[in-house]
Structure 1
């Protein structure tokens, strides 16, 4: 049985791939200005897989939040421009305390991060001291500091399998990712009641209609999605593993159940294959 902590929600990975920058002659005027300023400031631009194509195309690296932060730790740049949401830039700063990290949009929030306020987690831990807290990386630095271990969607199963057997497990903040990990490991966990609004919008009936229209397509689903959608999938995996799956699969058509920004990178890295955004 899965226990879910009733906390009122608030509205709101392991690898990366180096991308060749577009030749400056192909940039529009604004893009050329960005390219010039980047050189002047010795900056590196990191863009999350979910960013819009025009942002991805001016970035030095495109990937998931952890992979980008790990790349940032290796860079010789003085300034890191992180095109993502707040917790991603925060993670990059944790890994690069001596570098300037810039978040272009200070209001770029995440409903999943906001669903687990650090003070609420601390309050729960105080009354439940035996819990071993596993935090999905998509959370604030304050929540990370309260946790025993941090995981990504790509390694969550391994982290839970390795967790102490003499402790009760608390998984924060995504209840859907946590439920999927329970399915994979068989280990009971208490799940924080949080979710990513973009992923819970996908519904079984809509994905089934897509399957009926494109019966040859493989359905690839992010584990933050609802179980009713995950159960339809040919593959459930993180964004980076989605790319690996689509590259290695002999299939030529895929229905992608995650934010649509990933499609741009898939089209670039998997020529000759068709990618369809799942409806919501």
Structure 2
């Protein structure tokens, strides 16, 4: 029996379900029951009946799984897989903003720790951030921690006062505008699709700016045959799966999340066998952090 068959048999035996982010390796996406971006996986995790969730992603995703499904066992194939951006704001910055603005909502990107969520009023993802910020009654919005997504929201919702901190996704931040321009010059008929976590110099070159799911949907529905993609390279698996006859180009310096790539088939099998690496959230933070996710799901209906 090969390792994929072993995973399948053990998953069925334990009534477990495997969730995988688009940024993990191809072979992990292949064996997953559900593949998606942070928003899709958050919604899925909240509705699944399975008592065990194997979350193929980074630590904040496992925490979100715990917050939305506290009665379930959430297992992380690699407990060290983390997201640097998830830590890039301090309590002092949040407190200072609350002191400075009476009419303030603290809007927290889902790519953040449970502790940071517990300081916030509502969580958002790149797929629903604009909709939720636009619909909040507050005039002043402290958006944490990603400054690039925050800047994109501010452009889409100019009627709100968006306050930013200095957080960013290192993978998207390091996408080179020069390399994107080089691809545009080489492939003039290609559409440029980029994630809003990219810096402004990259988004200015784009034909479409959207979440990972949005990029996949746009490429699938577009009549174009060539695309320049400005997000983590793991998305190529789903792009090719849905569009086998289309061509996708990535910057020469491939945007690769080392932490997402820590997830392997061997590690998935191991946590199914041992039920180790169970995700958890500090009890003192759980209620406040969970409320931000519940509110997100309510406001994005």
Contact in 1 for aligned 2:101/2:140 (Cα 8 Å)? no
1:178 maps onto 2:178 in alignment: no
Q: Distance in 2 between matches of 1:189 and 1:234?
A: 24
Contact in 1 for aligned 2:62/2:75 (Cα 8 Å)? yes
SS of 1:178 mapped into structure 2: helix
Aligned counterpart for 1:213 among listed residues 165, 186, 194: 186
Q: CA deviation at 1:59?
A: 0.6
**How big is each residue's C-alpha offset from its partner over 1:140-187, in whole Å with a ceiling of 9 and x where there is no partner?**
11111211121111121122222334x432110000000011111113
**How big is each residue's C-alpha offset from its partner over 1:198-243, in whole Å with a ceiling of 9 and x where there is no partner?**
0011121110001111111110000000000000001000001111
**RMSD between aligned residues:** 1.6
Question: Structure 1 length normalisation: TM-score?
Answer: 0.85
Q: CA deviation at 1:76?
A: 2.2
Contact in 2 for aligned 1:161/1:185 (Cα 8 Å)? yes
SS of 1:261 mapped into structure 2: helix
Q: Distance in 1 between matches of 2:93 and 2:13?
A: 43
SS of 1:272 mapped into structure 2: coil
Q: Which residue of 1 aligns with 2:198?
A: 225
Greater relative contact order, per chain length (Cα 8 Å cut-off, separation 6+): 2
**Aligned pair count?**
251
Contact in 2 for aligned 1:202/1:279 (Cα 8 Å)? no
- Segments of 5+ residues of structure 2 without an aligned counterpart are 254-301
Q: CA deviation at 1:123?
A: 4.1
SS of 2:161 mapped into structure 1: coil
Q: Which residue of 2 aligns with 1:35?
A: 8
Q: Which residue of 2 aligns with 1:49?
A: 22
1:144 maps onto 2:117 in alignment: yes
Which of the two has greater helix per residue? 2
Q: Which residue of 2 aligns with 1:62?
A: 35
